[in-house]
Amino acid sequence: MHSLNLPHHSPKQFFESATAAILLAVLAVPSLPAQGLSTQKAPPAPPAAAIAFANKLLAKMTLEEKVGQMSQVAMNSDGGTGVEQQIAEGKVGSLLFVTDPVELNRLQKIAVEQSRLHIPLIVGFDVIHGFRTIFPVPLAMASSWNPALIERAQSLAAREARAVGVDWAFAPMVDIARDPRWGRIMEGAGEDPFLGSKIAAAQVRGFQGTDLASNDSIIACVKHFGGYGAAVGGRDYDSSDISDNQLYNVYLPAYHAAVDAGAGSVMSAYMDLNSVPATGNKFLLTDTLRTQWKFPGFVVSDWDSIKSLTTHGFSSDDEDAAVRAVNAGVDMEMTSHTYRDHLAQAVREHKVSLTTIDNATRRILIAKYDLGLFKNPYVDVDRSRTVIGSPEIRTEARHTATQTAILLKNDNNLLPLKKDVRTLALIGPMIDSKPDTLGSWSLAGDVKSTVTLLDGLQHALPSTTKLLSTKGVEIERVQPSIFDSQFPSPKPQLTTEAERKKEFDHAIDLVRSSDVAVLALGEAQNMNGERASRSTLVLPGEQEKLLEAAVATGKPIVLLLMTGRPLNITWASQHVPAILNIWYPGSEGGNAVADLLFGEANPGGKLTVSWPVDVGQVPIFYARQLTQIPDHPETRYWDGTSAPLYPFGFGLSYSTFSITGLTLDKPDVVAGASLTASVDVENTSDREGSDIIQLYTHQRAGSASRPVRELKGFQRIVLKAHEHRRVQILLDTKDLAFWSPQTKTQAIEPGSFDLWMGDSSEATLHQQFRVSSNTHAANR
């Protein structure tokens, strides 16, 4: 367990710093509205040609045809019945849940050749962490701390999706999450807004590329706007009650970064934000997204979330729901049909302006224009066969899985294992489960070609090694998943207590017969994702009992964690010599894990979420406030530690590193300028490996108290054995700006700052610097 080490400041030092900060004028960032969020430039406006094309088409459309463009039909629901006639009549603008290129061409042909104005369909799908070829889940990819790697993964996902006619991804999910009970934490980047913003932008770039009309690009959809990850109690769909301070400084920045990266669409969330449902929330969808951030793209609701405004007790009926959603800023309705059934009449009754309808329709038409659908609406079926699952994409999926694994413990260098081990046992309920290797939100994944852990070890081990394998235990959700009909995990086959005991005992016998045992434990994939929140974080079923029995044999034990969230592994952290968190590694997962176990790859991932000792600690995150008693923050509970088991930014390697010699290129910096922090990093081992150098700051005084540490820079580096490198990280003072609850503005405030560098949020190398206002600097 770990605690934060802070330099001690006397009350006199804090008083002097605070006084200086108060006397200095707060430097407000120029040209930002009062509640702006960043100094980034607004996203680019649509090209004039696209606007002109959309306006020309819009002038020809009837009111009903405009509303049709604002309607999406899900082909796996009752709404898909008779969709051909609706398409021909111009009553459908988008389809969801159809991925067969032949079928997509058939439906697209109806739109293009039979509808009056020949407007093509835009086809959406949940391309979350791959399409047919599945990459590690998003929380895993974030653990690489490598935006370029993530951008590449999503670009390949886009290539596969576009090859079958899917041109719109319902991703990235950029919700900041600090409660691992929430099932959808696996879809995001973790707890930190700075890292989350970098990864959000990388995913948008990956999906959309440089030209949306290319065969490798699809439109990104940033979700779930906004604050969905702050659900009370970690319960999916529950309300989010977020202060302005937390909203502007923690939850909104990642959405803003994705918008500034050029995201073509945004999805409104299910939940209430401060008692106003996000899908009917004008503050979010118009005041923030359009007015402040200048977002030019279109907004789509989440599944049925417009109709659900009435369920929330917000709207009175379907008509009221449609009116309130469109007036709040939702351009397209997903799956429910309140727009189709009520908007035209609402316009005639002056409840909705025609301008509102025109603006929404224009945004959708521009997106279709940008995708090149008016010029080339059809799929090249032959090309789709060569693109899907290509060797290039499979190779990249395998590499990505090796880069996202996190080594949490490795006593006595048990890992990597030697390939000449005589007998190896592989035990666990998911060792040969293809769906559970892929992870949640793999709805279009190629399950048959998935490489399980058992497959990977069988491929990697020489014939001289005897591989023993069995499940040991089985696990299952108490309540079924809403996705079980589409993407189920294997059902338990052991139906009696006697059968379960026999299998358990058999597994322990195999451990006893082995030279080393690898136990792959965790959660089935359907225990994560949407509507998959938990009240505890314990290993489901009898897995903990199995692990304890395996350890009791005295054999060397390696624990592999298959999960989409932190789990309670406190006992394991004390008794198991090696723990490797492999998340849900994807289509090439088994091969990647074999690479990691036998040293063909070296783990270098770092946590993007604080890992709790116990569920009673959550929500838990590193960027806490100092409070009046900053010392010994791990002692806040009298009956146990309040420190995490593993802190944010933590992760080991088979290599070891020395980080020394922190220097700054200047002790004072003018607001709006940058400074460079440098450290010496040396690989002190005989093995090439990677480390992630992280930079944290703390503002000592200002108009509001700031978190004890905030990530403001990072760099993943690879060093050969015994290689030394001077690593520099640029700190842009614009990243020190924050929204102040006192001034109600986004600002860089002059004053003194602490700076740390190291390879986790507990970095100890420390320097100080000052930020001065332009006026103050000029007068010195």
Query: Is 369 in contact with 377 (CB distance < 8 Å)?
Result: no
For 713-758, the three-class secondary structure string (H helix, E strand, C coil) is EEEEEEECCCCEEEEEEEEEHHHHCEECCCCCCEEECCEEEEEEEE
Rounded to 10 degrees, the C-alpha dihedral 303/305/306/309 comes to 160
User: What is the full DSSP assignment across 675-710?
Assistant: EEEEEEEEE-SSS-EEEEEEEEEEE-SSSS---S-E
3-state secondary structure of 519: strand
Query: Is 219 in contact with 207 (CB distance < 8 Å)?
Result: yes
Handedness of CA 385, 389, 391, 393 (dihedral sign): positive
115, two tokens: 């509808």
Query: Is 333 in contact with 339 (CB distance < 8 Å)?
Result: yes
- Which residues lie across from 578 on neighbouring strands? 410, 558
Rounded to 10 degrees, the C-alpha dihedral 332/150/370/193 comes to 50
Asked about 302 being catalytic, the answer comes back as yes
The Cα 280–Cα 58 span in angstroms is 25
Q: How far is CA 573 from the centre of its chain?
A: 26
Q: How far is CA 672 from the centre of its chain?
A: 29
The Cα 511–Cα 470 span in angstroms is 10
Q: What are phi and psi of 695, to 5 degrees?
A: -120, 130
The Cα 658–Cα 681 span in angstroms is 6
- Residue 493's Cβ-count burial label (10 Å; 0-12, 13-18, 19+) is exposed
The Cα 777–Cα 780 span in angstroms is 5
Q: Which of 302, 595, 691, 759 is catalytic?
A: 302
Strands of the sheet with 689-699, listed across from one edge: 668-670, 765-772, 751-758, 689-699, 710-719
User: What is the full DSSP assignment across 76-111?
Assistant: TSGGGTTHHHHHHTT--SEEES---HHHHHHHHHHH
Query: Is 689 in contact with 718 (CB distance < 8 Å)?
Result: yes
- Residue 447's Cβ-count burial label (10 Å; 0-12, 13-18, 19+) is middle
Which residue shows structure tokens 């783990």?
A: 603
Contacts of 8-13 spanning 24+ positions with Cβ under 8 A: 8/631, 9/700
Longest dimension (CA), the chain: 83
| Residue among 70, 67, 144, 130 nearest 99 (CA) | 130
| Residue among 270, 329, 706, 711 nearest 531 (CA) | 270
For 599-639, the three-class secondary structure string (H helix, E strand, C coil) is CCCCCCCCCCCCECCCHHHCCCCCCCCCCCCCCCHHHCCCC
| Residue among 368, 373, 399 nearest 156 (CA) | 399
Q: Which residues contact 403 (CB under 8 A, 6 or more apart)?
A: 144, 146, 149, 604, 605
Q: Which residues contact 638 (CB under 8 A, 6 or more apart)?
A: none
The Cα 59–Cα 693 span in angstroms is 55
Question: Which residues participate in catalysis according to the annotation?
Answer: 302
